[in-house]
Amino acid sequence: MKLAGKTIVVTGVSSGIGGESARLLRERGARVVGIDRNEPTISLDGFVQADLSRTEAIDEAVRALPERIDALANVAGVPGTAPADLVARVNYLGLRHLTQAVLGRMPQGGSIVNVASILGAEWPARLEAHKALAATRSFEAGLEHLARHPVAQDSCYQYFKEALIVWTFTQSQPWFLRHGVRMNCVAPGPVMTPILGDFVTMLGQERVSKDAHRMKRPALADEIAPVIAFLCSEDSRWVSGINLPVDGGLASTYV
């Protein structure tokens, strides 16, 4: 993969998929700057501690980032066991605010990779609602929209992963045409990360047991990271506006 010399920002860098992505990107020659609310446990070329649920913290973090950013991997997220407002802020509104803020620092050929989820696959059922949220122009406008159209706690994780996929679809081509910057999603299934237990709690043991036969096992974080690295690299320079399942075939079993 063509990554040598690139400066790549990875959020959620202190554990799980974010940590493995950062490690792999550095191994392949990229300069990696991490963002997380927790201190990293791996070597990085730079680190900014930030709470991605607050615009002030995001804006402060952006001021500390390099002037040129070749790729942004939006990996940070909270599980659906967190309050719905926090899920909205971190998994969607904060991600969008950060991405919009760094877009101007990205050159032609830049790449944005958003980590969605297999749980976002039902986005067509709520397409118009997600397009309406995507049309809000700011973090604050998004909060106001959600205050008028509240999302239930028990479906908030799924809802905002769906919303992320739809935002990526609707925003990717305008940015690609105007700025030459690509944006894509990857959609992992269950992954062996520190928050896997939260997902079992969120979905319920009955559904987990019911779906267990559909897959060989949960993924390992280092099986997701190479796909993120590929989408950050020049080898994927004509891939834009997709949602790529990385789930060991789980999505195919629902057809």
Predicted pLDDT at 141: 98
Predicted pLDDT at 208: 62
Q: What is the dihedral of CA 97, 103, 222, 40, to 10 degrees?
A: -60
Print burial letters for 96-108: b (CB count within 10 Å at least 16), e (below 16): bbbbbbbbebbee
User: Is the CATH code 3.40.50.720 the one for domain 7-249?
Assistant: yes
CB atoms within 10 A of CB 229: 25
d(CA 158, CA 232): 25
What's the whole-number mean pLDDT along residues 225-235?
98
Predicted pLDDT at 193: 79
CB 160 within 8 A of CB 96: no
Predicted pLDDT at 215: 86
Percent with pLDDT over 90 in the chain: 86
Predicted pLDDT at 235: 96
Tens of pLDDT, residues 231-249: 999 999 999 999 999 999 9
Catalytic option among 92, 157, 159, 254: 157
What's the whole-number mean pLDDT along residues 167-192?
97
Print burial letters for 137-152: b (CB count within 10 Å at least 16), e (below 16): eebeebeeebeeeebe
Predicted pLDDT at 16: 95
d(CA 114, CA 102): 14
What integer best gives the mean pLDDT of the chain? Answer: 94
Tens of pLDDT, residues 114-170: 999 999 999 999 999 999 999 999 999 999 999 999 999 999 999 999 999 999 999
pTM of the model: 0.94
What's the whole-number mean pLDDT along residues 219-227?
96
Predicted pLDDT at 67: 97
Tens of pLDDT, residues 103-114: 999 999 999 999
pLDDT band at 42 (very low <50, low <70, confident <90, very high): very high
Better-predicted residue by pLDDT, 6 or 214: 6
Predicted pLDDT at 202: 67
pLDDT(201) > 80: no
Q: What is the domain partition of the chain in residue ranges? A: 7-249
What's the whole-number mean pLDDT along residues 5-25?
97
Q: Is 159 in the active site? A: no
pLDDT(212) > 90: no
Predicted pLDDT at 205: 65
What's the whole-number mean pLDDT along residues 41-66?
97
* Contacts for 30 with CB less than 8 Å, ≥ 6 apart: 3, 4, 5, 6, 7, 8, 70, 71, 232
How many angstroms separate the Cα of 201 from the Cα of each of 15, 96, 170, 183, 204?
20, 27, 32, 31, 5
